[in-house]
Amino acid sequence: MKQGLELKLGQHLAMTPQLQQAIRLLQLSTVDLQQEVQGMLESNPLLDEDVSGEETGAPGSAPEPGESSGEDRQLDLAAEDTLPDDLPVDSQWDDVFDLGTSASGGGSDDELPDFEARNSHSQSLQDYLRWQADMTHFSPEERNMAEMIIDAIDDRGYLIENPDDLATAMGADAAVFQAVLLRVQDFDPPGVAARDLSECLLLQLRQLTDVDASVQKLAMDVAKDHLQALGRHDYPRLCASLGVDEAALGSAMALISALNPKPGEEVGNENTEYVIPDVIVRWSGKRLRVDLNPEAMPKLRINRRYAGMAGGKDAAHKYIQDQLNEARWFIKSLQSRQETILKVARAIVERQKDFFINGPESMRPMVLRHIAETVEMHESTVSRVTNQKYMVTPRGLFEFKYFFSSHVGTDSGGSASATAIRALLIKLTQAENSKHPLSDAEIAKVLADQGIQIARRTVAKYREAANIPPASQRRRL
C-alpha cells in the first residue's frame, strides 16, 4: 500500500469545556441554576457573591477605577449590538455579573424559626396514621394489627390488601382484625383505609355533622349502590331507582361532590415547588416591555484580592490562575445565558403580541423554527432556552413553551393555533346548556362555521388536553 499525504478541508465543532458549560447552564431552570451558582461559590475561592456592591477581596477598600458599582445592570432591548450569537464563548466578559439582587445579609433572620417548614406537612401519610395509632387505646396485639393495616395503605389513602389475607398472615382472629380496621377507618383524614371508592365516600359521609339527615341518607344510598349511574350522569334512571325528584338528587350530589375521593393526598411529604420567573413582561404605554427578572439570580464578582495573586509559576499560583479562569468563564456563561433568554423572550412576545392584547383565542401558530430564524440561532438552542423558563406577564405566569403550538388550517387559507382552538373550545363548553352539552361533532361544526376546519377526533384530543370531560359527563341537572 502506497503511503502519501492528502489535504482535506472540512468543518467541525470542538465542544470545549467552556462551550459545554454554557450549554448546560442554558438549559437549567432558575431554581437549578441557583443551586449550580451556590455550588460554584463553595468550590471556587475566586468567585464571590456581591452582597454589598463593594469589592469583596479587600474589606473596606474602595472599588478600582472603571469597576462596576453595586447598582443592578439590565440589558437594553433596544441595543442591537449587545446580544450575542448562538451560545457565544468569545464575547467580552466582565468581572462583575450583577443582573439580580441578593438577599440582605441580616444575621438576625437566621435565628428566626422557619414558620413555613414548621407549618408545612413534613410527614408521610403512614407517619401521620401511626401517630394517631399511638394516641389510640390499642392492646399490643391490636397495635400490631393497626401497623399492618397502615403499611398496606397507599398514597391515595386506600387499603390495597385484603383484610382477611392480612389477618391470616398475622395469625390473628378475622373478627378482631376487622374491628381494628374499623377503628383505623375512623382516623384522619376521613375516608382513609377504604377498600374502594364507594366505601371511601361512605366513610366520609358517616362522619359528616350539621347536614340534613335525609340528604345525608340519600347521598349514602347513591354512594353505596349507584355510583356507576352517577358517573354516567344518568339522572332520570337515578331518580326512578331512588324514588326522588331532581331537586333532592341534586342536593345529594352536591354533598358527594364536596368529598375527597383520594383522602391520602391531603397528607404527604411533598412541599410546594415555587417558580421563579426569568423574564418580566409589562406594558409601557402601548408597547410591551421585556426585562430580565433582577431577582432571578445573585450578583457574582471576581475576588480581586485572590486574583492579584495569580501570575506566578509555582503550584499555588497556578491553582489560583486556574480558578480565576474558571470563575471568569462561569460569569461569562451566565451572561451569555441571560442575554440568550432575553433575546428569545423578546422574539416570543413580539410574535405573540395579539395574545397579550386579546387573550388565548388570538394565539398565533408558532414552532421552534419561527423563533430560531428570528434570533438567528439553532432550533436546539431555542429548545434549551424554552425548557423550564418562565415569564410573568399581565395575563399571568407562563412557561416559554406555552406560546408554541401546532397549526390547523382555515377556510381562508390561513392557519389557527392549537392553543387558540383549545381556548375557543373552553369558551364554547363554558357557555353551553348544561342540560344539553355540546358533543365533539357539534363543537367541530361550530368551529367550521367560524372558518376552522377540524375533525371530530381532533376536537376530542384538544378537549382531553384541556381536561374537559365528554358531553355525557358534563350533563348537569
Peptide bond into 360 cis (omega under 30): no
Establish if 229 belongs to a structural domain: yes
Is the overall model pTM greater than 0.85, yes or no? no
Which grid coordinates are listed for 151? 403499611
Instruction: Supply φ then ψ for residue 284, to 5 degrees.
Output: -125, 90
Establish if 313 belongs to a structural domain: no
Establish if 421 belongs to a structural domain: yes
Contact 474, 433 (CB under 8 A): no
Q: Using alpha carbons, select from 274, 278, 293, 272 the residue that is nearest to residue 401.
A: 278
Cα 393 to Cα 402: distance, rounded to the nearest angstrom: 13
Which grid coordinates are listed for 20? 459545554
Cα 471 to Cα 432: distance, rounded to the nearest angstrom: 10
How many domains does one find in the chain? 2
Contact 155, 187 (CB under 8 A): no
Contact 54, 70 (CB under 8 A): yes
Cα 104 to Cα 116: distance, rounded to the nearest angstrom: 19
Query: Which positions ≥6 away from 402 have C-beta within 8 Å?
Result: 419
Cα 297 to Cα 80: distance, rounded to the nearest angstrom: 24
Four-residue CA torsion sign, 297, 303, 304, 307: negative
Establish if 79 belongs to a structural domain: no
Q: In what order do the strands lie in the sheet with 96-97?
A: 47-49, 300-302, 96-97
Tell me the HSE value of 23 on the side-chain side, using a 13 A CA sphere: 10
Contact 277, 397 (CB under 8 A): yes
Establish if 231 belongs to a structural domain: yes
Establish if 153 belongs to a structural domain: yes
Establish if 277 belongs to a structural domain: no
Helix and strand counts by DSSP (H, E) for the chain: 21, 9
Give the count of beta carbons closer than 10 Å to the beta carbon of residue 428: 17
Query: Which positions ≥6 away from 185 have C-beta within 8 Å?
Result: 192, 193, 194, 203
User: Which stretches of 29-90 are DSSP H helices?
Assistant: 30-43
Choose the final residue of a domain: 209, 240, 266: 266
**Boundaries of domain holding 261:** 125-266
Choose the final residue of a domain: 249, 266, 283: 266
Choose the final residue of a domain: 236, 266, 296: 266
Establish if 3 belongs to a structural domain: no
Q: How far is CA 432 from CA 238, 427, 428, 435, in A?
A: 23, 9, 6, 9
User: Digits of tens for pLDDT over the chain (477 positions)?
Assistant: 667 777 777 665 555 677 777 788 888 888 888 888 889 889 988 888 876 544 334 333 334 333 333 333 333 333 333 334 444 433 333 444 444 443 333 444 444 444 444 344 457 888 889 888 888 888 989 999 999 999 999 989 999 999 999 999 888 899 999 999 999 999 988 899 999 999 999 999 988 888 888 888 998 988 888 888 887 777 888 888 888 888 888 888 888 888 899 998 888 655 556 788 999 999 998 899 999 998 887 688 888 888 877 777 778 888 888 888 888 889 988 988 999 999 999 999 999 998 999 888 888 888 888 999 999 988 888 888 888 899 999 989 999 988 887 666 555 555 667 777 778 888 888 887 777 888 888 888 887 777 777 777 878 887 887 788 887 777 775
Residues shown for the chain = 477
Contact 339, 293 (CB under 8 A): no
Query: Which positions ≥6 away from 360 have C-beta within 8 Å?
Result: 419, 420, 422, 423
Which residue do the cell numbers 340534613 mark?
A: 212
Residue 414 sits in a domain whose CATH number is 1.10.10.60
